[in-house]
């Protein structure tokens, strides 16, 4: 457990924040530091075929230690951290034997990790909690997953009595900006299936996610001196207001949950002549997802009929799809995780992700890839924390999945 904590803290302290405005891969130069550190660590524990490509993707192999013909499985995690909160000078703090009281993160800023606001803290009384000092995020998303995978491989190497097939591990940049799977070499990885260790609380197992699309809406107006604008000016902002109001008020992120989809206006800017609206569309059901895209096109047609041709321009771009479509035909990749959890006394929490994951994109690239818990909570901000015992359970689960795969599918 001490080594696992040591690994995590070392990775957490490396600033590896990604940048959505970059056109390079990795999107930031600083991500190379942790990538190279991972190469070094993987070689030190005895992994084989350790390599890093020109995009910063790290791959390695743990050879099989059984003569049986066992499917090749993989474990994947991303090493970048979210761009929406500082990842500089991360200073992890450790609370041993947590007593259920408030944890003062930063007295000067008045930041307190309190069970009165975060009641889930009560679930970790008596455990060891790693948290931030209030000046940055922690980076448990997904450096907890990285530490767990490395530690699990180290454990398997040191315990050859645990029989397993060939295991591939992969660490990638830029997941937080939606590009983690973009340059992942599925063919080179060579696994029959894999797992992203990128979930939250113990027991989480996810093989459903949103279908997703981004929508750019341009509303064209006509700017005329306001003193002479009668029957001439077309104010794009006012048309935009009507456009926004035409959407269902109860189909937004703040009014939906579970399997309910939504339209989300997340950015807008404009003046009289041009207003731009940026939406995302999300839905678990593929047909409903397609219907939501059609709704945008119908809106554009309706507004162009009302205000004139070319007033509204809509551009849609699919982002990712529900991985369930690819996982259901190979449901054994999920079943084996459930069985491994039960063996370890972990209650499986099978739920849908109200978001996306590298695993979704990888599944559609030919690598079925459910998502498994890594243990962290309150990601992407100063209130982020991770119980050490949760990381340990994730590490043990990786080992158990490898062992059960060999027993169940070995020929």
SS (H, E, C) the chain: CHHHHHHHHHHHCCCCECCCCCCCCCCCCCHHHHHHHHHHHHHHHCCEEEEECCCCCEEEEECCCCCCCCCCEEEEEECCECCCCCCCCCCCEEECCCCCCCEEEECCCCEEECCCCCHHHHHHCCCCEEECCCCCCCCHHHHHHHHHHHHHHHHHHHCCCCCCCCEEEEEECCHHHCCCCCCCCHHHHCCCEEEEEEECCCCEEECCECEEEEEEEEEECECCCHHHCCCCCECHHHHHHHHHHCCCCCCCHHHCCCCCCEEEEEEEEECCCEEEEEEEEEECCHHHHHHHHHHHHHHHHHHHHHHCCCCEEEEEEEEECCCHHHHHHHCHHHHHHHHHHHHCCCCCEECCECCCCHHHHHHHCCCCCCEEECCCECCCCCCCEEEHHHHHHHHHHHHHHHHHHHHHHCC
Q: Which of 41, 80, 192, 198 is catalytic?
A: 80
175 is catalytic: yes
Q: Which of 41, 175, 204, 208 is catalytic?
A: 175
Catalytic residues: 80, 175
């Amino acid at each position: 457990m001490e080594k696992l904590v040591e690994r995590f803290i070392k990775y957490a302290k490396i600033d590896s924040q990604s940048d959505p405005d970059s056109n390079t891969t990795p999107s930031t130069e600083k991500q190379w530091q942790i990538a190279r550190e991972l190469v070094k660590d993987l070689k030190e524990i005895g992994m084989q075929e350790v390599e890093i490509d020109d995009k910063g993707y790290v791959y390695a192999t743990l050879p099989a230690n059984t003569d049986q013909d066992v499917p090749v499985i993989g474990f994947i995690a991303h090493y970048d951290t979210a761009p929406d909160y500082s990842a500089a000078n991360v200073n992890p703090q450790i609370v041993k034997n947590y007593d259920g009281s408030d944890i003062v993160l930063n007295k000067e800023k008045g930041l307190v990790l309190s069970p009165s606001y975060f009641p889930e803290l009560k679930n970790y009384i008596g455990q060891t909690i790693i948290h931030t000092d209030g000046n940055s995020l922690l980076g448990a998303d997904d450096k907890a997953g990285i530490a767990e995978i490395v530690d699990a491989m180290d454990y398997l190497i040191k315990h050859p009595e645990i029989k397993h097939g060939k295991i591939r591990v992969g660490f990638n940049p830029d997941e937080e900006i939606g590009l983690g799977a973009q340059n992942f070499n599925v063919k080179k990885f060579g696994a029959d299936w894999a797992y992203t260790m990128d979930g939250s609380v113990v027991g989480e197992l996810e093989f459903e996610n949103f279908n997703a699309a981004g929508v750019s809406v341009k509303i064209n107006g006509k700017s005329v001196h306001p003193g002479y604008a009668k029957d001439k000016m077309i104010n794009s902002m006012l048309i935009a207001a009507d456009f926004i109001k035409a959407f269902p008020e109860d189909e937004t992120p703040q009014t939906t949950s579970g399997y309910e989809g939504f339209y989300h206006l997340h950015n807008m800017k404009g003046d009289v002549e041009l207003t731009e609206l940026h939406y995302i569309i999300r839905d678990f059901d593929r047909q409903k997802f397609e219907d939501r895209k059609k709704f945008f096109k119908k809106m554009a047609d309706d507004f162009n009929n009302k205000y004139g041709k070319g007033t509204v321009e809509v551009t849609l771009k699919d982002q990712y799809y529900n991985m369930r479509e690819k996982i259901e035909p190979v449901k054994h990749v999920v079943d084996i995780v459930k069985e491994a959890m039960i063996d370890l006394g972990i209650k499986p929490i099978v739920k849908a992700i109200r978001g996306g994951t590298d695993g979704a994109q990888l599944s559609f690239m030919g690598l079925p890839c459910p998502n498994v818990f890594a243990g962290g909570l309150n990601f992407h901000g100063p209130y982020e924390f991770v119980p050490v015992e949760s990381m340990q359970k994730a590490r043990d689960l990786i080992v158990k999945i490898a062992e059960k795969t060999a027993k169940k599918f070995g020929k």
